[in-house]
């Protein structure tokens, strides 16, 4: 199944304020946003795209044949070295994983199909979920499950993982799911492994770290008046985005006089925008999306 884009119309209506401009899609995925951007740009416009997943980049190279388009395999936290002298009109960040990750058992993202316990978005680097779960301490595992998954049973699950691996190393998604199910019983619609899988994926891909880094680098590659659109899928990401773009004046200690001069870098032009009821009905994955939009001053 292909990835269904989230908040497509809403995000591009903000992003594309000059149809002859140079744009950057930092999370290409399967290119649904990118293809729509190219459709709307006039011939003078151009689009650069980035993804850390080599499969996404290959998909882009094979499926988008347009002289205005180019795609790069890179972590978005390295954009300053990729585009040292560019000044973009708009930059899009559609965070998280693609449905294509979840749908491919060989990538190890899903508890619903069996496969190697990998979860890396970029399989050419870093450590897999199995590598980490087989070597981390019980308290490191418990902390990750709690902090990135808000998993209340984090300690029990971490303990069960450590017990399992004294017999044999964890290798597959179903082994991890089974271990979690020994501790947590299914209540309601949500599968007991949902939060743990999310937490481990965030940790393995260092998602929050890379998000903080990329946000700090956007300013230097954005034209004055340029637009940043960020779509987040969980509150940890959204909080980082919201706090990063918070006006400097709101960060000053309360006892500092109001007329203290601060140089603001961005203005918020779209706050906490959510998918419509219609979009959520057609694409339930969109239900947790939140979009924020900023303009460089
Ligand atoms: C939600 S999908 C984007 C979907 C895309 N907008 C589309 O229309 O198909 C997120 C994509 O961002 C990529 N990604 C996540 N973190 C990244 C990072 N730090 N650097 C580069 N790409 C990243 C993932 O590999 C994934 O393909």
Give the model confidence (pLDDT) of 177-231 as tens digits. Answer: 999 999 998 888 889 999 999 999 999 999 999 999 999 999 999 999 999 999 9
**Among residues of the chain, what percentage have pLDDT more than 70?**
97
Binding-site residues, ligand 1, Cβ < 6 A: 3, 5, 27, 29-33, 50-53, 56, 75-77, 94, 96, 98, 121, 210
| pLDDT tops 70 at residue 270 | yes
In ligand 1, the atom with minimum distance to the C-alpha of 53 is 25
Q: How far is the CA of 96 from the centre of ligand 1 (A)?
A: 6
Task: For residue range 3-13, list pLDDT tens digits in order.
Answer: 899 999 999 99
Q: How far is the CA of 82 from the centre of ligand 1 (A)?
A: 17
Domains and CATH numbers, the chain: 8-99+207-296 (3.40.50.150), 133-204 (1.10.150.170)
- Give the CA dihedral 201, 197, 147, 235, nearest 10 degrees: 80
**Ligand 1 centroid, distance to 167 Cα (angstroms):** 36
Residue 253's pLDDT is 75
Task: Tell how far the Cα of 78 is from the centroid of ligand 1, in angstroms.
Answer: 14
Atom 5 of ligand 1: nearest residue by CA position = 29
For residue 256, what pLDDT band results from cuts at 50, 70 and 90? low
Among the atoms of ligand 1, which is closest to the Cα of residue 56?
27
Task: Give the nearest ligand 1 atom to 233 CA.
Answer: 1
How many Å lie between the centroid of ligand 1 and the Cα of residue 251? 30
Q: Who has greater pLDDT, 254 or 149?
A: 149
When pLDDT is averaged across residues 29-58 and rounded to a whole number, the result is 98
Residues 50-100 pLDDT 10s: 999 999 999 999 999 999 999 999 999 999 999 988 999 999 999 989 989
């Amino acid at each position: 199944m292909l990835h269904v884009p989230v908040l497509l119309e809403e995000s591009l209506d903000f992003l594309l304020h000059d149809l002859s401009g140079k744009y950057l899609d930092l999370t290409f995925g399967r290119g649904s946003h990118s293809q729509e951007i190219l459709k709307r740009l006039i011939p003078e416009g151009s689009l650069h795209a980035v993804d850390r997943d080599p499969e996404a980049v290959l998909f882009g190279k094979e499926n988008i044949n347009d002289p205005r388009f180019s795609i790069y395999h890179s972590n978005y936290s390295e954009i300053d070295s990729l585009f040292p002298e560019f000044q973009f009109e708009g930059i899009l960040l559609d965070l998280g994983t693609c449905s294509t990750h979840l749908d491919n058992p060989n990538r190890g993202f899903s508890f619903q199909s069996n496969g190697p316990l990998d979860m890396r978005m970029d399989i050419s680097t870093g450590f897999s979920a199995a590598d980490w779960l087989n070597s981390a301490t019980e308290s490191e595992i418990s902390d990750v499950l709690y902090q990135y998954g808000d998993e209340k049973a984090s300690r029990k699950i971490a303990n069960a993982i450590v017990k399992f691996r004294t017999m044999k190393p964890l290798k597959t998604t179903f082994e991890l799911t089974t271990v979690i199910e020994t501790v947590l019983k299914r209540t309601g619609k949500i599968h007991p492994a949902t939060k743990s899988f999310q937490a481990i994926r965030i940790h393995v891909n260092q998602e929050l770290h890379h998000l903080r880094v990329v946000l700090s680098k956007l300013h230097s590659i954005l034209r004055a008046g340029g637009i940043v659109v960020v779509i987040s899928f969980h509150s940890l990401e959204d909080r980082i985005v919201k706090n990063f773009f918070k006006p400097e004046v709101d960060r000053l200690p309360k006892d500092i006089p109001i007329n203290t001069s601060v140089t603001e870098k961005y203005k918020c032009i779209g706050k906490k925008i959510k998918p419509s009821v219609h979009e959520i009905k057609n694409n339930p994955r969109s239900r947790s999306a939140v979009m924020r939009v900023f303009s460089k001053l």
